Structure 1
Amino acid sequence: MHPTPPHLAPSRYPKRASYDKETIHAILDEALVCTISFSVDNRPFAIPTGFVRHEDKIYIHGSVGSHFIREIEKGIPVCITITLLDAIVVAKSAFDHSVNYRSVILFATPEKIEDIELKTTAFRWLTEKFVPNSWDYLRPIRENEVRKTTVLAFSLDEASAKIRTGMPGEDDDKDLPVWSGIIPLETRRLAPVAEDISKDIPLPAHLQEQR
């Protein structure tokens, strides 16, 4: 087993870290948005964007004219973070309040995808993640649309997860008559809402399945 690189090992609560691929993949597959951090001319940037995982890479896309995309496609190193919040942890003291979460951090250098077929496939992966089973229902993507868009891939070779679960971890205050526990949080899809020009079009089966 290879030693964990120092930049992947958390300095606080290292026991919460996981380097297991299945754990990392599960978090990435549930999350819809990541934040990509990088530095240009000694100025920090952190850009949120949609993403999709396929095998051991994640993919993002953006306009060929995007300043953010044009900078990182040069091959500069980035740090990518993803966080899912599961609960607010309410302790008997404000000092011990916390959150239950599942997170991933990864370090990578962007790989620009030039192949038109692979770019189109990456669009399908991303579309199907956000709206499952919708690709074949939609108007087919045009080649000029593919060419107007940049697709970047990032390896998961340097990735780690960090997870907190459970109730407050306080011991000193356990006998105080103050309520403690968790407030669960949930992100879920609600019923689709049609725009005016689509109100007379039946809701397609793939959207009915997501209700």
Structure 2
Amino acid sequence: MDFESYYRTSQVNGTISITTRQVLDEDLKSALEEGEGELYLTCIPRDRRSSPEKIVQLASELGEIYALRFKIDYAGNSRGYAYLQYINPPLKEAAMEYLPKRFLQMNLPIKVMTSLNKRELLLNQVQSLRPWQVYQEMRKIFPFAILRVYEYQSGKFIYIFGYRNNDTAANAHQTIRNTIRRFGARAHISWLCRKHFLSGHKLDSPCCQKLDENHMLLVTSTDKYCFTI
């Protein structure tokens, strides 16, 4: 296999990405970027036995890979997990059966599961800042796809930030943790479970006002509300 002809390799912080060079239909590309058919690989040996290139070579025996996002630590060693997608998302089911057996043949104890593709973070215990100020500060820290805000007591809010895919959300989580003090000494950022009643995967609330940057003045003047941005 001429690896360089099929795939490109890059690294951003703690993620080594191997992605296809194939030009894809825009609708398919958009679905894949949002996590369609994503697999979660875990129990990856933390030594050099299982390089991202080797995983792609083995996985591509079933079909061409769209992307592998391989997580590493500061020393460049595997953190034990990665995310894998095929260009053909329906291959996911076959991969869950085929890949564990193939990895074992190569003495690699890698487990293959469906990715939860968690994409939402919850920010709470924010002090002093109003919602429109939180919105502006978070835009500076890490871009997000959507923000939902809920007032659970007078003047007290929780903020749910939505991202395009799990990988983007994970990068945002780390970046926000490093700058969390700007939201107050008690501010806390955490993952929002997909099963939570406020999760965007379950929620279709008619009460939320939908706001954009041209209507941000409404945010500063409304007393009790929930809204999305």
Q: Same fold (TM over 0.5)?
A: no
| Greater share of residues in helix | 2
| Greater share of residues in strand | 1
TM-score range, shorter chain: under 0.3
Structure 2-normalised TM-score? 0.24
Structure 1-normalised TM-score? 0.25
